[in-house]
Homo-oligomer: A and B are copies of this chain.
Amino acid sequence: MPVGLPPSLLKLSEQLRRLPGAGPRSAERMALALVRSHNAWPKDLATAILEAQARVKLCPRCGFYAEGEELCDICRDTSRDSTTLCVVETANDVLPIERAGIYRGLYHCLGGKISPLDGIGPEHLRIGSLLERVESGVGEVIVALGNDVEGETTSIFLSGHLPTHLRISRLAQGLPMGGSIEIADSLTLGKAMENRLSLR
């Protein structure tokens, strides 16, 4: 049902609709909140969008988000263990691992996964720079890629090409914490069974 909103409000609503998680109704609510705001917020938001777009780049060393041409906060943090690298697909994958707060090493974002069907080979990913990076004092590489065919292919490729003196591990596969057996899918259950841990 069209409700006769003015064109510039409809346009704003359409643009907001493209934000992840925004449906038509929530985009409209956001648009109304913006035009009804009597303070500097709408202008500040518009500026923040343009500035972030201009300034946010990927870290030249690890591929995580960084400002300008600088190294990212994680690479610059000298308190972190630089002998361990966690290999992830994209910069976004760093966030949940950092939030978990259990990893204190550095990262390497590949920028994708090997996928012959989509024409993505190792040469399209940041694998060359990974091989260079491990030459300088790295002792362990943790491969943290998704459990799909491409993640699998990429993990196998990496374990075949990384120097043999390195420890290489991958994330455990099994039941998620708090996940019940009842709702687990068969592939996950199969892996959890296969990789079962001895209790005594």
Contact = CB atoms under 8 A, between A and B. Distances in A.
Interface of A: 1, 3-9, 11-12, 14-16, 18-22, 26, 28-35, 37, 41-53, 55-56, 64-67, 72-74, 77, 92, 94-95, 98-101
Contacts of A53: 34-35, 37, 42-43
A14 to B, nearest CB: 8
Contacts of A6: 55-56, 65-67, 72-73
Copies of this chain per assembly: 2
Nearest to A1: B99
Given A6-B56, A12-B49, 10 more contacts: A6-B72, A7-B67, A8-B48, A8-B55, A15-B44, A16-B19, A35-B53, A42-B49, A46-B46, A46-B49
9 contacts: A6-B56, A9-B65, A15-B45, A18-B41, A20-B26, A20-B30, A37-B53, A43-B50, A43-B53
A52 B18 contact: no
A14 B52 CA distance: 12
A33 B65 CA distance: 12
A28 B26 CA distance: 17
Contacts of A37: 53
A48 B16 CA distance: 9
User: Most B CB atoms within 10 A — which of A4, A29, A47, A92?
Assistant: A4
Contacts of A8: 48, 51-52, 55-56, 67
Nearest to A14: B48
A30 B19 contact: yes
Nearest to A57: B6
